[in-house]
């Protein structure tokens, strides 16, 4: 049962909200087949540069905390705001580092998200379960991203509105106090320089704000979408197990001569059951691969299920116990 790590086809329906992740650029960060320049993945390099610039701004903005300036008195609100921003940035760095280490596993997640991932006949009969989960997943991810974007816009516009409302007495304020900013980093510059170059510092903090909101939300939203997909797969397998071997349109009587479709020893039922187990094993191996814990030789053991269930031909009673089906 070889695991195919090839990129998902655009024509295939995916259970995750791939359209959203493409619009936000997240898809291109882990796509190994993306655009390249001199054998360098453009999407991944762009993500690294985006992170690097944000960290340089954050470090530069923290230098003012270690120097005495004209307005060295920082009120409690700004302190809490700075502490909150630094904590969020630390979490974003942890998520980014985890992403870099697991980038290939994240790409494999899209293989699981393909609508035809579970290829067994019994599992395919319950594809409506996948559609139901996908609908909820798309709704949840869109709402979360929309809320995050609205919060970021409000956060970014607040200092502009605050500075506009305080326009009176501008001359004295410009000399004695820094303009309000998004995060209010303590850049190591004088009050006069800060206020004169306010647009530059505002753009720098806007860059950091976009980085914090983007990284903090996009990873969580992606894994929420993926977990919904995994839940759908397991529910499809569970329903397939419940229904295999039972045909309500067929009634038992004494003249069936053992050919009844509800008989768990029936070859058709046996093949259905085996296909479900193959799907279950395939899903399990993919999970191990994503976590980086799969045995490289595990994929080649295609005959495991076949050898395991050869007991059917040897002992009918043993086959019934393996299948776990009832005989009426």
pLDDT tens by residue, 54-113: 999 999 988 877 765 555 567 777 888 888 889 999 999 998 888 887 777 777 777 666
Task: State the pTM of this model.
Answer: 0.69
Assess contact for 229 and 113: CB atoms under 8 A: yes
pLDDT score of 328 more than 60: no
Question: Does 279 reside within a domain?
Answer: no
Confidence at residue 192, expressed as pLDDT on a 0 to 100 scale: 83
* Across 28-54, average pLDDT: 80
Question: Does 46 reside within a domain?
Answer: yes
Question: Does 277 reside within a domain?
Answer: no
Torsion sign, CA atoms 311, 315, 316, 322: negative
* Across 131-160, average pLDDT: 87
Q: Which of 179, 43, 164, 168 is nearest to 99 (CA)?
A: 43
pLDDT top residue among 236 and 327: 236
In degrees, rounded to 5, the angle at the alpha carbon of residue 257 between the alpha carbons of residues 251 and 263 is 55
- Residue 188: give the domain boundaries: 18-243
* Across 300-312, average pLDDT: 42
Question: Does 291 reside within a domain?
Answer: no
In this prediction, residue 37 has a pLDDT band, given cuts at 50, 70 and 90, of confident
* Across 24-50, average pLDDT: 78
pLDDT (tens digit per residue) in 186-233: 888 888 888 888 899 999 999 999 999 999 888 888 888 887 777 777
Question: Does 86 reside within a domain?
Answer: yes
Q: Of the given ranges (141-145, 171-175, 230-234, 310-314), which has the lowest mean pLDDT?
A: 310-314
> CB under 8 Å to 53, separation ≥6 — which residues?
207
Question: Could you give the number of structural domains in the chain?
Answer: 1
Question: Does 296 reside within a domain?
Answer: no
Distances (CA, A) of 200 to 15, 54, 132, 203, 214: 42, 14, 47, 5, 21
Question: Does 326 reside within a domain?
Answer: no
Question: Does 33 reside within a domain?
Answer: yes
């Amino acid at each position: 049962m070889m695991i195919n790590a090839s990129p998902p086809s655009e024509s295939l329906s995916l259970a995750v909200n791939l359209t959203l992740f493409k619009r936000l650029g997240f898809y291109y960060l882990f796509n190994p087949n993306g655009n390249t320049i001199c054998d360098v993945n453009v999407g991944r390099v762009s993500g690294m540069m985006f992170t690097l610039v944000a960290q340089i701004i954050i470090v530069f903005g923290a230098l003012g905390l270690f120097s005495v300036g004209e307005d060295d008195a920082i009120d409690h609100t700004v302190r809490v705001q700075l502490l909150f921003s630094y904590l969020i940035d630390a979490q974003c760095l942890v998520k980014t580092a985890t992403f870099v280490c697991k980038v290939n596993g994240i790409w494999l997640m899209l293989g699981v998200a393909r609508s035809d991932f579970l290829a067994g006949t019994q599992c395919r009969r319950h594809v409506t379960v996948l559609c139901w989960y996908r609908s909820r997943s798309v709704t949840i991810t869109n709402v979360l991203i929309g809320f995050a974007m609205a919060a970021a816009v409000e956060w970014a516009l607040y200092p502009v509105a605050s500075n506009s409302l305080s326009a009176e007495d501008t001359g004295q304020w410009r000399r004695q106090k820094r303009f309000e900013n998004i995060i209010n980093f303590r850049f190591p510059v004088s009050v006069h320089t800060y206020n004169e170059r306010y647009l530059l510092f505002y753009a720098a903090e806007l860059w950091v704000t976009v980085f914090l909101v983007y990284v903090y939300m996009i990873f969580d939203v992606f894994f929420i979408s993926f977990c919904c997909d995994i839940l759908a797969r397991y529910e499809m397998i569970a329903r397939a197990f419940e229904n295999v071997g039972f045909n309500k349109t067929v009634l038992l009587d004494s003249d069936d001569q053992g050919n009844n479709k509800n008989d768990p020893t029936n070859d058709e039922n046996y093949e259905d059951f085996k296909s479900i187990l193959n799907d279950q094993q395939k899903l399990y191996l993919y999970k191990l691969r994503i976590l980086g814990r799969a045995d490289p030789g595990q994929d080649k053991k295609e005959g495991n299920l076949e050898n395991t269930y050869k007991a059917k031909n040897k002992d009918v009673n043993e086959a019934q116990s393996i299948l776990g089906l009832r005989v009426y």
